[in-house]
Amino acid sequence: MSILVDADTTFIVQGITGREAINLTRECLDYGSGAKIVGGVTPGRKGRNVHGVPVHDTIADCVEAHGKPIDGSVVTVPPAFTKDAVFEAIENDIKLIVVVTERIPRRDVAQMVELAALRGARIIGPNCLGIIVPDVIKMGGIGGPARNAAQAYTPGPIGVISRSGGMTTEMSSTLSAAGLGQSTAISIGGDAIIGSTYAELMPLFDADEQTEGIVIYTEPGGRMEAELAAWVTETGCRMPIVAFMAGRFMDEMPGMSFGHAGTIVEGKEDTATEKIARLADAGITVAEEISEIPELMQSKLQAGSTA
């Protein structure tokens, strides 16, 4: 199985007539068994279609046209309008929202996340590339055009969670080349506040029978890794976890932001060094290079080790 999405997942694309959104729609329709994109929203563009997907003015219209609830939405609208778009999705009973947009002020993100929690919806992102279940479905730009995504991602037992969209593909490709396919790979976004953190996604992977190991990509900034380490220590994770930490050089450059908006060293706890120590304390192996990840994972899987 997979987590969050499967072949039957229906979703819409908000901001579907934008240049990137048109490409993304094509990619998702082409990939795997073909995403069930049941509609798109761009206010004022009702009646058009994007690669055969009908465009509506409102999500309510999408739901009405579809005739039953819609599972998800990919949000690609500009940052100033993203909060409104996500609120619209949540209030129309959409339960899985992938926010692609970057440079959204933190307060807006926090408001979306809080409303989602109240309504039992989940947000992935913002500033992310979405979710992919190899050979089945991709929801978002993750992996790029279907042909490229198929080259990097293969089905298998590894769950991938990454703060970097590009590195989700790099790591999955490395795993695939070593014969370790992926159950589900998720680009969670690089902002300071995001909808779903490692620790919030782990219970889903934990409950998924296909997933036997977890690979994560991490960066300096924030407390997400500490949260993961605490989750592993408290629950006793059944699966081995291998992490890769990029941006080690940033420890020497406090106050400077590199890579992603959330990647900034502000205190002692969010340095790469501190995070590596914390992850290691929880039994999570931290790889020095991406190319080491498959071997580290194989040996942990063979040893039947947890975390």
Please check whether residue 27 is in contact with residue 16, taking contact to mean a CB–CB distance below 8 angstroms: no
- DSSP, collapsed to helix, strand or coil, labels residue 250 as helix
Structure tokens at 34: 């073909």
Residue 167 interacts with other proteins (CB under 8 A)?
A: yes
Q: How far is the CB of 304 from other proteins (least distance, A)?
A: 28
HSE-CB of 181 using CA atoms within 13 angstroms: 17
Give phi and psi for 39, each to the nearest 5.
180, 170
The only residue of 17, 82, 164, 182 in contact with other proteins, by rule CB under 8 A:
164
DSSP state of 285: E
Residue 111 interacts with other proteins (CB under 8 A)?
A: yes
Number of shown-chain residues binding other proteins (CB under 8 A): 65
Among 36-44, 90-98, 201-209, 239-247, the segment contacting other proteins (CB under 8 A) = 239-247
Residue 141 interacts with other proteins (CB under 8 A)?
A: yes
Annotated catalytic residues are 260
C-alpha pair distances (Å), 33 with each of 8, 144, 148, 265 = 10, 16, 15, 42
Residue 256 interacts with other proteins (CB under 8 A)?
A: yes
Binding mask 69-88 for other proteins (x = CB under 8 A): ----------xx--------
The only residue of 158, 250, 282, 297 in contact with other proteins, by rule CB under 8 A:
250
Cβ-proximal residues to 224 (8 Å cutoff; 6+ apart), any chain: 163, 197, 198, 199, 218
CA dist 120 and 168 (Å) reads 27
The only residue of 43, 119, 148, 233 in contact with other proteins, by rule CB under 8 A:
148
Residues that bind other proteins (CB under 8 A): 79-80, 103-107, 109-111, 113-115, 118, 141-145, 148-149, 152, 162-167, 169-170, 173-174, 177, 190, 192-193, 197, 217, 219, 222-224, 227, 244, 246-250, 253-263, 267, 288-291
